[in-house]
Every structure is written in structure tokens, then in C-alpha cells.
Structure 1
Amino acid sequence: MTSLQLSAKEEMVEKFLDAAARGDLSQVSALLTRVPSLLNQTGYSGWTALMLAARNGHYHVVEGLLSHGCDKFLVNSSSQTAYDVSKFWGHRHVSNLLSRTDEGCQRVLPGTDLSPQENYFSCEPLDRLSAKRTDKVWLEDRQSAPDTVYLLFSSLSPMVSSSQEEDGGAAAETKLCRFTYEAVKDLIQKPSAVLIFLGVERRKNRSSSSSSQEPPAWFAISSDEDAAELLKRCREKSCSFPKTPNRDLLNLNEEDAGVVAQARSVLAWHSRYSFCPTCGSSTRLEEGGHKRSCLNSDCSSLRGVHNTCYPRVDPVVIMLVIHPDGNHCLLGRKKIFPAGMFSCLAGFVEPGETMEEAVRREVEEESGVKVGPVQYVSCQPWPMPSNLMIGCLAVAISTDIKVDENEIEEARWFPRQQVIDSLFRGARPAFTVPPRQTIAHQLIRHWIHMNSNL
């Protein structure tokens, strides 16, 4: 019976992959509706449905698979992603979709043919409609609309539900719990509640029949009610508030992660600015939760623009330092890292400091290595609590390492092949790298792609 069940499952996977390769979107969608765990299944040589659709230039199938939340960072046995496959076979419309950028706007290093990666937490499924934040009438109307979506936070953690496929072969899927106005209106009315307008859903279908109807609005609400009581409001199974956000929030799909990046960062700012940093008086929420104003009419923060009145974003440089020979990179590890894990060096940008100088200063402070040229690659919102990670490549002009043990535990030069083995799960890798959702992982991957055909 087990072998029959296994062969039936393999047949279903083969049918799904074949439909993607042929460009049959209706069959792909129908199979996913019946068996969602097919989404990231692999066939011969580790090829996924996304890779097969990209190979044959089936734009609408690629678009459909992405809308279901498929993992576009998976690699086949040749270490190629779906993006790499589409570029190789010349399907520019597909590669543009997978990279989410127009060719004319690409930011790549000189001499490379790379598209900047779309980093985790950077997806923008909502139109923020910042101009509507001062429209109190419009906001109040949207709050009570029947299709409005509410996300519920406790201690800066969003309520999520996790599900495991019945066959036990698929990884648990974590999703944000969505609530209606009727389900949370009692929480909104409490004085201690913090309500944030996040935006409205971006229209995926701009047909004339739907153009007159406003898309659903999204809000985040933070409550100080007991977490166990809040969980009773959710009808989904296995609801929880993540206790370790640096790890647990990485299990969300890219769209949910993009929403959390905004919501958690703004809520974290509110948790630190309930009192005016200028005079110490109490503050009140304004502009859909995107501003706090001092209640002291004599406070200087009420005159002019002050960065204490609006949500803070703290810039952090994170950099992969390349050896002068071009075939080694510098990675370090902190004591809090899991055993065997090394990552890029990083540090906060100081006031009055450029991004490039911050890279040079932090690298020298932490490792003793001096850096020359610095090249921006991409950035990543990191809502723990509210950082903007500015990813860079930097070229070393010295190679001797002397670590600041107050900052990091160890730093080493790693040869390219060891990095490839670690990145693509080679046999017995010498070390491990951070997960793919981190910009550190993507910077390392970017460097490996620079001089290879991966």
C-alpha cells in the first residue's frame, strides 16, 4: 500500500510539473487547489514547476505560481534559480517578473549581468496611500467596512496560524491571521489600543467591473489584552504569537512578510514613543498611526518638522568584504550565532556619516581589515525592531585579521568553493550561512553569481 501511495503521489507531481512546462495555467491552478503541497515539489534534477514555466517562457504560469507564494529562491541540481533559467533561455519578460524590476532600472555591479534580488520583507502587496492618512472621515469609513482586514499584534508579534500537510512531507505553512472589523471593534475602542493604517490592496485585476469599487483596506492593531484571550478570537487551527521573531517571522510567505515589515516597525516605534522625547509629556496618535504629536502646546516639537514625531528607521550597513584576489570573502560570527554559522559584517550608520564610510569604519573596527571601494547592491527592511539593512560589497586593501572580541567572536577569509558548498548545501560544508530570507545570504549569493554561470 505504501508503494502504491508513493507512486500515486509521484504521478501527481509529474502531472503538475508537466502542466507548468506546457503552460497550462488552468490545470496548474486546479491541481494546486486540490493539493497545495505540490507548489514547491521537484522533479528530475531538482526542477520545480516555476523553473519549468520559466524555461519555456510561460509568463502567466510564472505569475500564477508566484501569486500562490512559491519559493523562487530554490535551486536545481545545476544551482540555478527560476530567474537564472529564464535569463539563460532569453525570456526577458519572465526574468523581469521574477526580479520585479525593469531592465532600465537595474542596479548591478560593473561588468556583471545580474538583477538586484528582491529581499525578504521588501515585498509591497499594499498601496500605502499616505495621502489618506490625514483624512479622518475616509479612515473611519474604511475601518468599519465589511471587507477591511485587521492584523492583531501582542507584544509586537502578529497572530499567525500554522498548518502541516496531512502527508507529513511538506513544511508547515505560516500565515497571518486576518480579522474583520466586527471581530476586533471592541479592542479598537480601548484607550490603550494602537491602530495603524497599512494601506489598501493593490489591484491585480483592473477590469472595468471592479474599477469603481475601492480595494480592501488593511489595519494593524496592537492590544495589551492577555495573549491567551486574544488567541481565542481566531477560528484557525494552531494560532500563536511568535516568541522568537528573528526566526519565526521568516516562515511567512513574501507578501505577508512585506506587510509585517511595515506593521511591526511602526508598532515598535509607538511602544518607545508614548512620551515626547523633547519635553516628556504624553503624546497622541495621528495620521492613521504614522505620527505622534505632543500634548504640551508649548513643546517645540509642535513647530517645524521633527524626527521624533514620525516613525524612526535606523540604517545599518551590512557588507560582504572581498579579498584583493577576488576569490575569498570575509565572514564573521558572533557568540549568539548557531554553531558553525558565519555571516557578513554589519553595523549602524552614525550621524553625519556616509554609507561608504560606515562600511569602512565597521569592517576595520570589527575585523581589523581595511576597505577601499564600496558598492551598493540592495537593501532590506528588517522589522526587529525597525532597521533598514543597506547591503554592500566592499574590496579589502589589507588582509590581516584582528577581531574586536567585544563585537565578534571570529572572522575568517573563506575561499569561493567553500562558500559555494555552504550556500548550495554541498557535502560536509565547512560552515553554514544565514537563511535565504536574510540579506546576508543574498549578498553572499550575489558575489558567487558575479563570476559564474549559476
Structure 2
Amino acid sequence: MTSLQLSAKEDMLERFLDASARGDLTQVSTLLSHVPSLINQTGYSGWTGLMLAARNGHYDVVEALLSHGCDKFSVNSSSQTAYDIAKFWGHRHISNLLGRTDDGSQRVLPGSDPHQQENYFSRETLDRLSAKRTDTVWLEDKQSDPDTVYLLFSNLSPMVRSSQEDDNAVGETKLCRFRYEAVKDLLQKPATVLIFLGVEKRKTPSSSSSSSQTVDGVQEPPAWFAINTDEVAAELLKRCRERNCSFPKTPNRDLLKLNEEEAGVVAQARSVLAWHSRYSFCPTCGSSTTLEEGGYKRSCLNLDCKSLKGVHNTCYPRVDPVVIMLVIHPDGNQCLLGRKKIFPVGMFSCLAGFIEPGEAMEEAVRREVEEESGVKVGPVQYVSCQPWPMPSNLMIGCLAVAISTDIKVDENEIEEARWFPRQQVIDSFRGAHPALTMPPRQTIAHQLIRHWIGMNSNL
């Protein structure tokens, strides 16, 4: 192809994208009639004509492009579909149109797939098999299976090992895994808490585990359990043959060093074990309780207790919901971040707070933001969530749009809050703004800020 031909094609694409952005339906239709292949071609940062039309609210152009068979599932360099763009800019009539399937029903588009917003501690590498928790025979068989994996916890911290060879090296942190023979004595101790975590997920339908047990001729994958015991930590460490084993002393920092797969397992195990550490006695009558259903229920030993009649949430592991939100300035180009006194120097993060009983998520966002910063919030949009096993929270990540900008910090909650321009935040991520530090990448706060930058970087 000659440079002249290439230039002509580039010019045609530029005219098509410009017409789509301006809402010039006549020119869009004319260009497509001459060069149908323009319909899914991309310009700057991967934007298609459909995305540009959706950004600027041109319903008739979007409708025409869809009728010509354009790909509404394609994403730009910020992983946004046209649906995501229309929804962000409030063009509901267009997002509703883009959100329909061929039969007219609504669907979630790939660009809004929650798997694209996976957060640390969220990955599920085990099949929990909750239906097996009441099958005591099956659980007992699994406990003694030679392929079963056990994780040891002391004071709610898992035993881990580091691959570092010296104090100055940065090593990889991994969970220490034990087999039945190494822990069977602990299972006999009354104070031991045993949690069934699940079985390993098969990566492919044809893959098989090394387990010798079979069901209908199909080998079962290995089961995983977590053990929390009152045995001295130093004695537990002697059970591990690996070097550099330890129990993390600062979980908020040390547990962030695990890989994604093991972090998800720890989130499950630590949250349930933390609940057991606080519910040895019945919250209803004060009597002792006993562990049931693979560690996912505690029953009161007092036969006259009200908790044994009907369903009571005190019998099951609790999860405390927390809203964590990135507040966006009305101009769309600044975000509100705050810092607590315990934060490292220069670090700012999203505001957060517990949801109160009888309170909706959106109202919790508005209340917490106003209490902590004095800023009033209007629209609230859910983004993603993150289990946070310190001890057992569910962080519900949201974007919120401010309707006021004056800041008045509640010094009991946070030390300081400020509006930060988007470019300053971007520079901080790049390490080009040493006076401002973002929260670690494993936190949902970090991911919310990145999400906001990605949404606005090309809009």
C-alpha cells in the first residue's frame, strides 16, 4: 500500500470518528456506505465511533452504528466499552440501548464484568463445597486423607515462609502447607479450632488430583483445612521443615506479601477463625458453644437457649460491611483523599466507614463523607468490593460525586483531607510526586483511585 493510499484511509477514519463525536448522522452513514470497514476501526487510545457517539450523547448515531453491526463489546485502552462511557456520563437512554441483548433484554456487558475489578484477597482458588459442611463422615475421611492440605494459624496469623536468603533480600512469602501426619496430634486437642476451607478447583475438566479417593470413578481434588491452636508459636514452627518460617506479627502489612491465590485462602480462613476467637460463649445466654458444620456454625450447649430455636445470626460467622469511597469533585478533575495520623508520611487514601444497621450503602457513603470531611455527596456508584480479613470486613468500593467542596475535617476520624488534581495523583502513581503517596496496590483504595484515573484519562 502506498503512503498516499494510507494517508487517504487515515483521513477517512479521522472524518468518520469526528462525525461520530459531533453526532453528524448523515456523514456517518455516507462514510460507512463507501467504507463499511470503518465501523469498528479505532483512533486515539482505542476509541471507536460508537464510543465517541456514546460519550457525547448522540443516540441516533449510536442506534445507526448498532444497526450496521458494530462491535459494542470492544474496549478502549482504559478497558471501557461504549456502555461504560455512556453510563459514566449519565446518558442513560444510550446505556440502556447498549445494554440490551439481541432479544431486547438487559445484560451486563463485558466491560462491566466484575472479574475485571478483582481485588486482593478476592480470588477464589478453592471450591468451598458448603453443602459438604454437614456431612461429618465425608469431612472425617478428608481430614485423614494423605493429600489433604492443612494451614497452621497462631493468634490468627498463618505460618508462612519466605524465600529470602538474607536480611537485605526481598523474598516471596508463601503459606506453609502440612499433611495429616504432621498435625494429627493437634486435631485431638480440645482447644483446636478446625475449619474446612474447600477443595482445590480443577483447572480443566480433564485434570485430576493426586488424591486416591474417588467418587463414581472420578478422583477427588485435595481438601484444605485451617487449624488454629493454643500451642506456643515457637513449638508450631518446629513442625515445618522449610527454612525462614514465621507467623506474621503485623498482618495489615505482612499478609499483603502473599500471591493472589494464597491471599484469597487466607482471607477466608482468617475471617472465620477470628469469629471463633470471639464467640466461644453464646451471645444470647452466655453459655459455652460448640463448633459445627466444618467450622461455619457455633451452637449453644444450653438446650434452653433461644438461639437454638429458629435462625439466629449469632450462630454463623459475621462479616462487617464497610463503605470505602473515592469522592470526585464537581469539576470531575479532582478527588478527595484523607489521611489518618497512623499513615506513613505523605500517604493519603480514600475515606471509609462502617455501614450502620438499617442503612443503605449509598446513604452510608454520604453520611461518612460528610462526617469525616464536611463535604456533601450526591450520586453514588458501586465499583467493586474486597474481603478484608482484619478481622472480617467486606470493603464496598464506590465512586461518589460531591455537591459541595468546602472541607471541614473531623479530627477524631482523620488528620487531614484535601482535593487532589488528577494529574498530581497520576504523578504520584508514577513516582514523580514524592510528597504524595498512594495506598498499597493490594488495597481497594488503590484500585478505586486507579479506576477513576482510567475512567477519566481519555474522556
Q: TM-score with structure 2 length normalisation? A: 0.73
Taking the aligned partners of 1:316 and 1:227, their CA distance within structure 2 comes to 32
Q: Is the 8 A contact 1:107 1:377 kept in 2?
A: no
- Indicate the residue corresponding to 2:87 in structure 1: none
The CA distance in 2 between the partners of 1:280 and 1:114, in whole Å, is 42
In structure 2, the partner of 1:123 is 123
1:254 counterpart letter in structure 2: E
**Residue pair 1:418, 1:430 contacting (<8 A) in 2 also:** no
Query: Contact 1:106/1:115 (CA < 8 Å) preserved in 2?
Result: no
Q: Conserved in 1, the CA contact under 8 Å of 2:424 and 2:433?
A: no
Paired residues of 2:163 and 2:173 also in contact (CA < 8 A) = yes
- With over 3 angstroms needed to count, the CA separation of the structure-2 counterparts of 1:84 and 1:441, relative to structure 1, is farther
Structure 1 equivalent of residue 452 of structure 2: 447
CA gap 1:318/1:208 in 2 versus in 1, 3 angstroms: closer
**How much has 1:235 moved relative to structure 2?**
0.8
Q: Is the 8 A contact 1:378 1:391 kept in 2?
A: yes
User: How many Å apart are 1:348 and its aligned residue?
Assistant: 0.1
CA apart distance, 1:209: 6.5
Q: What pairs up with 1:15-164 in 2 under 5 angstroms?
A: 105=108, 116-164=116-164
Quickly say closer, same or farther: Cα 1:84–1:145, change in 2 above 3 A.
farther
How do residues 263-302 of structure 1 correspond to structure 2 at under 5 angstroms? 263-302=269-308
CA distance in 2, matches of 1:107, 1:344: 27
Is 1:414 aligned with 2:420?
A: yes
Unaligned segments of structure 1, at least 5 residues: 1-82, 89-103
Q: 2:382 aligns with which of 364, 376, 386?
A: 376
1:436 aligns with 2:455: no
Secondary structure at the residue paired with 1:274?
A: coil
3-state DSSP class of the match of 1:403?
Answer: coil
Alignment partner, residue 407 of structure 2: 401
For 1:313 and 1:244, how far apart are their aligned partners in 2? 21
**Superimposed CA distance per residue, residues 417-442 of structure 1 (whole angstroms, 9 cap, x where no aligned partner):** 010011232x2333101100000000
CA contact (8 A) 2:381 2:398 kept: yes
Instruction: Name the CA distance, whole Å, in 1 between partners of 2:263 and 2:314.
Output: 26
Q: Measure the CA separation in 1 of the matches of 2:206 and 2:438.
A: 45
Quote the Cα distance in structure 1 between the aligned partners of 2:192 and 2:413.
38
Change (3 A) 1:84 1:268: farther
Structure 1 counterpart of 2:260: 254
* Alpha carbons 1:369, 1:396 under 8 Å: kept: yes
What secondary structure is seen at the aligned counterpart in 2 of 1:191? coil
Q: Is contact 1:107-1:115 (8 Å) kept?
A: no
| DSSP-derived class of the 2:219 partner | coil
Distance in 2 between residues matched to 1:106 and 1:259, nearest whole Å: 29
Superposed CA offset, 1:297-347 (max 9, x none): 000000111110000000000000000000000000000111110000000
1:452 is displaced (CA, Å) by: 1.7
What amino acid maps onto 1:354 in structure 2?
A
Q: Which residue of 2 aligns with 1:172?
A: 171
Give the distance between the partners of 1:239 and 1:218, measured in 2 at CA. Answer: 20
- Return the offset for 1:205: 2.9
Is the contact between residue 150 and residue 218 of structure 1 (CA under 8 Å) also seen in structure 2?
Answer: yes
Call closer, same or farther: CA 1:365–1:108 in 2, change over 3 Å.
farther
Q: In structure 2, how many angstroms separate the alpha carbons of the residues matched to 1:350 and 1:274?
A: 25
Change (3 A) 1:213 1:114: closer
In the TM superposition, 1:161-200 aligns within 5 A as 161-164=161-164, 171-200=170-199
Shift of 1:257: 0.1
Residue deviations 1:164-207 (CA, integer Å, cap 9, x gap): 279x8x73100000000000000111000000000000001321
- Indicate how the Cα distance of structure 1 residues 334 and 223 shifts in structure 2: closer, same or farther if over 3 A, else same: same
Deviations 1:391-445 (A, max 9, x none): 00000000000000000000000000010011232x2333101100000000000
CA distance in 2, matches of 1:120, 1:376: 17
Contact 1:376 1:393 survives alignment (8 Å): yes
Shift of 1:117: 1.4
For 1:266 and 1:144, the matched residues in 2 are separated by 22
Between 427-436 and 281-290, the greater mean CA deviation after superposition: 427-436
Residue-by-residue CA offset, 1:337-367 (whole Å, 9 max, x unaligned):
1111000000000000000000000000000
Following the alignment from structure 1 to structure 2, what is the Cα–Cα distance between the partners of residues 339 and 174?
26
Unmatched segments (≥5 aa) in structure 2: 1-74, 81-106, 210-216
1:159 & 1:125 partners in 2: Cα distance? 19
Shift of 1:115: 7.1
SS state of the match for residue 240, structure 2?
coil
Seen in structure 2, the aligned counterparts of structure 1 residues 259 and 209 have a Cα distance that, compared at 3 Å, is closer
3-state SS of the aligned residue for 1:308? helix
Alpha-carbon distance in 1 for matches of 2:355, 2:110? 22
> Who is 1:101 aligned against?
none
Of the three residues 344, 350, 353, the one matched with 1:347 is 353
Evaluate the alpha carbon distance shift between residue 208 and residue 164 of structure 1 in structure 2; reply closer, same or farther with a 3 A threshold.
closer
In structure 2, relative to structure 1, the CA distance for the partners of 1:138 and 1:396 (3 Å cut) is same
Q: Is the 2:440–2:446 contact (alpha carbons within 8 Å) kept by the matching residues of 1? A: yes
1:213 aligns with 2:219: yes
Paired with 1:424 and 1:335, the residues of 2 have a C-alpha distance of 24
The structure 2 residue matched to 1:244, chosen from 250, 257, 268, is: 250
Q: Percent identity?
A: 84
TM-score normalised over the length of structure 1: 0.74
Shift of 1:144: 0.3
Q: Residues 208 and 220 of structure 2 are in contact (CA less than 8 Å); yes or no, is this contact kept in structure 1?
A: no
Distance, in Å, in 2 between the alignment partners of 1:85 and 1:429 is 27
Q: 1:107 to 1:299 in 2, by over 3 A?
A: farther
Q: Is the 8 A contact 1:108 1:115 kept in 2?
A: no
Cα deviation for residue 116 of structure 1 reads 3.9
Tell me the distance in 2 between the aligned counterparts of 1:208 and 1:177.
Answer: 24
Distance of 2:301 and 2:359 partners within structure 1: 33
C-alpha distance in 1, partners of 2:114/2:230?
46
